[in-house]
Amino acid sequence: MAAHDTPASASLVGLHRENFQGEIDGRAVDLFTIKNSRGMVVRLTNYGAKIVQIIVPDRNGVPGDVALGYDSLEAIRHGQASMGSFIGRYAGRIAGGRFAFEGRDYVLARNAGENFLHGGLKGSRFVVFSARHLDRSRLEMSYVFKDGEEGFPGTVPLRVVYSVSEENALAIDYTAVAADKDTLVNFTDHTFFNLSGQGGTSILDHTVLVNADRFLPISQMSVPTGELRDVAGTPLDFRTPSAFGARIYANDEQISLGNGYDHHFVLNKKHEGEFSLAARAADPKSGRVLEVCSTEPGMQLYSGNFLEGQAPRDVGKGGAVYKFRSGFCMEPSHFPDSPNHPNFPSTVLRAGQWYAGRIAYRFYVME
């Protein structure tokens, strides 16, 4: 499908499919496009199942790109590894890169200081998924995690379906099965957003609502302490909309430890697996609103604290420089470091058991 057939706007960078085509580990990489009839367009590469571009209109109907990303496969490989990726087999941090499971100690890569992070040295961020269009608005990606891959037990086939609806929502439906052994799984999407449509500009004036009464405090190692703390009276209280920048410089231990917001929230759920509101973000200038719904029990809120404006890692589409706090992430998932905290929702998947989850990003404009 053509990758440059969207109405142009002053800030919209056209992507060229040939710049994303290549071969990694003997597997073909390409750029894929899904869309609806209203002008919403989503582009992805099967390298890391990364979302590269999301085009939606502002309050004046002008299309803009609200996802940070890169304009070639080479740039992606030199860029922020998590940007736009579907994360597995285990999203988030695991303290010390180790856990005990069924009487055995498992040692993982320490790829984020002393911790394991986002699948390890070659998690799903760095592998080539099989990909095929189901129709104009739906794309399937699949990958099989092998027994022992990145230190985890068991073979786990994963299927991810991206679909764009006529309501300007991007749904991500994922299923996985423990094919042969008991194992652990935790999945999320790691798209970086900037609702202004101007990559590289500050997100501190974006307002945020998070449907959570509690969050997970982190240690100096940036992993959960095990406590589930009330957000009331803290800079992490987003139960009513507040700008990212309103409290991000507060004299608060958790803000200091996260270098801003890099915390997991315990989403308010009526029952396990409920598909419900996780968060909402809005840009007052463009009028764009992002609503995030999910079946997952928690959500990581990240305020782009490790975007540094450094080439080549932080130079994105059209030469936009992704500076400090110029993008944010809302990553629904199970809690980080769950294997080391029995009080957290379990991430165990028993042999023969299936796991299914859904994340949906819906875009609309303010009244």
DSSP letters spanning 35-46: E-TTS-EEEEET
**Residue where the block lists tokens 């989503």:** 42
Distance CA 221, CA 141 (A): 33
34, 163 in Cβ contact below 8 A? yes
Render the burial of 233-248: b for 16+ CB within 10 Å, e for the rest: ebbbbbeeebebbebb
**Residue where the block lists tokens 């992606």:** 76
Edge-first strand order for the sheet with 329-333 is 229-230, 212-216, 262-267, 298-302, 329-333
Question: 212 - beta bridge partners?
Answer: 267
Give the active site residue among 118, 264, 331, 334.
331
Domain ranges of the chain: 207-353
Distance CA 338, CA 346 (A): 7
Query: What is the Cα 276 distance to its own chain's centre?
Result: 17
Render the burial of 56-77: b for 16+ CB within 10 Å, e for the rest: bbbeeeebbbbbbbbbbbebbb
Distance CA 38, CA 357 (A): 27
Helix (H) or strand (E) holding 72: none
SS3 category, 330: strand
Give 8's contacts (C-beta < 8 A, 6+ positions apart): 14
Distance CA 341, CA 184 (A): 13
361, 291 in Cβ contact below 8 A? yes
Tens-level pLDDT at each residue, the chain (367 residues): 334 443 334 468 899 999 999 999 999 999 999 999 999 999 999 999 999 999 999 999 999 999 999 999 999 999 999 999 999 999 999 999 999 999 999 999 999 999 999 999 999 999 999 999 999 999 999 999 999 999 999 999 999 999 999 999 999 999 999 999 999 999 999 999 999 999 999 999 999 999 999 999 999 999 999 999 999 999 999 999 999 999 999 999 999 999 999 999 999 999 999 999 999 999 999 999 999 999 999 999 999 999 999 999 999 999 999 999 999 999 999 999 999 999 999 999 999 999 999 999 999 999 8
The per-residue pLDDT for 10 is 43
Closest to 118 in 3D by CA, of 128, 107, 126:
126
Handedness of CA 229, 233, 236, 240 (dihedral sign): positive
Give 355's contacts (C-beta < 8 A, 6+ positions apart): 175, 176, 177, 185, 187, 349
What angle (nearest 5°) sits at the alpha carbon of residue 94, between those of residues 93 and 99?
A: 165
Closest to 169 in 3D by CA, of 359, 366, 6:
359
SS3 category, 125: helix
Closest to 362 in 3D by CA, of 163, 171, 95:
171
pTM of the model: 0.96
SS3 category, 233: coil
Give 308's contacts (C-beta < 8 A, 6+ positions apart): 314, 323, 324
Known catalytic residue at 264: no
60, 95 in Cβ contact below 8 A? no
**Residue where the block lists tokens 């009331």:** 232
Helix (H) or strand (E) holding 75: helix 73-77
Known catalytic residue at 190: yes
**Residue where the block lists tokens 């409920």:** 274
Give the active site residue among 118, 190, 206, 263.
190
- Structure confidence by residue, pLDDT tens digits, 166-194: 999 999 999 999 999 999 999 999 999 99
| Domain 207-353 falls under CATH 2.60.40.420 | no
Q: What is the number of alpha carbons within 13 Å of residue 329 lying toward its C-beta?
A: 30
**Residue where the block lists tokens 């941090």:** 93
For residue 291, which phi and psi values (nearest 5 degrees)? -115, 130
The per-residue pLDDT for 11 is 60
SS3 category, 258: helix
